[in-house]
Amino acid sequence: MTLDTVISGCVTYYLGSEDGLDPQRIDMLESCLGDLNGLLPELADDASEYFERLRTLASLLLEAHQRQ
């Protein structure tokens, strides 16, 4: 699966769940963030903007879950 598919699936799960994220999705998001952190320095500017926003989305989702 692609990074954006996994992250958007976690967003959908979070929004539909009263309990927030489950441990599996937390692990998936953390893995995606690791991949994005490694990938972003190598991307051209036009592509990096999209993936930077994707990284922000994943980070915000994890932060929102931690505040629950």
Kindly give the residue spans of alpha helices, DSSP state H, lying in 17-67.
Answer: 23-39, 45-67
Q: Parse the chain into domains and list their residue ranges.
A: 3-67
Taking the C-alpha atoms of residue 15 and residue 58, their distance in angstroms, rounded to an integer, is: 13
Q: Is the pLDDT of residue 24 over 90?
A: yes
Closest CA to 32 of 66, 68, 5: 5
Q: 61 pLDDT band (50/70/90 cuts)?
A: very high
Q: Is the pLDDT of residue 45 over 90?
A: no
pLDDT for the residue numbered 42: 93
CB 51 within 8 Å of CB 36: yes
CB 29 within 8 Å of CB 58: yes
pLDDT for the residue numbered 1: 83
Q: 67 pLDDT band (50/70/90 cuts)?
A: confident
